[in-house]
Structures are given as structure tokens and as C-alpha cells.
Amino acid sequence: MAADQKSTTRRRLELALRRLQHGKMQSSSDDRISIAAVAREAGVSNATIHNRYPDIAERVRALHVKASRFRTKAMPDTMDILHRKLREAHKEIDQLKNDLVKSQSINLRLTRENELLHSPLLKQK
């Protein structure tokens, strides 16, 4: 590979990595930083990065680990929110079940009263 072509490819890889870091990708891909994403963004193969630009591959791996740690740290907050919402939903379900039992009881009582009130009328006919 000629020196000019290699420096052009390096420049494309650097720019692709920067775009991925800042979420301004030109290609339509996921926003995770990976060697495949950098290669796709720069228009080269994964092997090119692995074989010819190991320093860039190492930077990508380091950024990937850093991003993974950030996502992992954000998870407990998300899990806490989801657990709170689940508890609230369970409380609402319990309340609705209680309301349903009360409504069924009232409905049964009214049905019996209605039958009692209609029975003398039926006997008169």
C-alpha cells in the first residue's frame, strides 16, 4: 500500500471514529463504537483496521469498553425506575381486584333484591 493511500485511509478512519464518538455517522448503523462500525463508516474492511492499523483498533476497543461501562452504570438507575413502576402497577392491580370483588358483591345483592321484588309481581299474574 502506498504511503499516500495509507495516510488517506488513516485519516478516513480517524474521522469515522470521531463521528462515531459524537454520534454523527454518515452511514446508517447503530451508535455503538466497534471496529465493525468504524470500518463501515470509513468504507474499509474490518481486517484493514485489525491488520494495518492496530493502534486505531486498540483505541476503538478502549472506547468500546468505556462506553460499555457507562451503559452498565446507567442500568441500575433504569432498573430502579422499572422496579418502582412494577410495584405501582401491582398496587393498582390489587386495588382493581378489590374494586371488582366489591362490585360483584353489590351486583349480586342487587340481583337478589330485584328477584325478591319481582317474585310477588309474578305470583299475581
pLDDT tens profile 33-42: 899 999 999 9
Helical axes 35-42 vs 54-124, angle rounded to 10°: 110
Domain boundaries along the sequence of the chain: 3-124
Per-residue pLDDT of the chain (125 residues; tens, 9 = 90+): 677 888 899 999 999 999 988 876 655 555 678 999 999 999 999 999 999 999 999 999 998 887 766 666 666 677 888 999 999 999 999 999 999 999 999 999 999 999 999 887 777 76
Rg (C-alpha) for the chain, rounded Å, is: 33
Whole-structure pTM value:
0.51
In the DSSP assignment, the letter for residue 43 is: T
The predicted pLDDT at position 75 comes to 64
C-alpha to C-alpha distance for 49 and 9, rounded to whole angstroms? 10
